[in-house]
Amino acid sequence: MAEDQGSYAYLTFVTSNPNKVTEVRQILRDFSIAFEHLNLKYPEIQSSSLRKIASVSVRYLHKKLKRPLFIEDSGLFIDALGGFPGPYSSYAQKTIGNSGILKLMSSIRHRTARFESVIAYIGTGCDVCLFSGIAEGSISLEARGVRWGFDPIFIPHGSRQTFSEMGPEGKRKVSHRRIAVEKFGIWARERTDRAVNSFR
């Protein structure tokens, strides 16, 4: 069962990342949308496109679980590194981490980068619906803050702080994930009555 009652209470969010669950739940509460969290790892194809990766993954999960669900895929794209780590951000974080990225950037002055997020939803009446968000910014000269992932080295445009230094509330206002999740929330609210009735 869902942990809260609300619109789309029978949705399932599949991710093995508890930090994503917290962030997405906080954003969707503004749309009175609740969901069940399922901690489940799933295969991801090798592709340069987050949208393609998310589409294939959500179809795989829907075939396996047979229920309305959504996933979120995101990546850090650094211009000077040809978009690396991009779709391989999770692997890069586990292997070289923030220190590895900063080492690769040590002699680079052009430090522009962007975070991208894609929400992929599949359910009744929707083969695969995608909602994307982008946060433009730059890579800091050193890691600042202690939050998860690449947050300590990404400075969003209009700020002097990294995502980590902004804290959960500050980041949530401007993050790539918020943009994508809000698009999903708006779309879902417009279809709440029809969708909830069909999910029961």
Domains of the chain in start order, with CATH, are 7-199 (3.90.950.10)
Statement: residue 124 has pLDDT above 80: no
- pLDDT value of residue 150: 96
Residue 195 pLDDT > 60: no
pTM of the model: 0.86
Among all residues, which ones are annotated catalytic?
73
196: Cβ contacts below 8 Å, ≥ 6 apart? 7, 8, 9, 10
Average pLDDT value for residue range 4-13: 63
CA distance 189 to 32: 8
Segment 51-59 mean pLDDT: 96
* pLDDT average, residue stretch 174-183: 95
Provide the mean pLDDT of the chain. 89
Q: Which residues contact 37 (CB under 8 A, 6 or more apart)?
A: 3, 12, 13, 15, 21
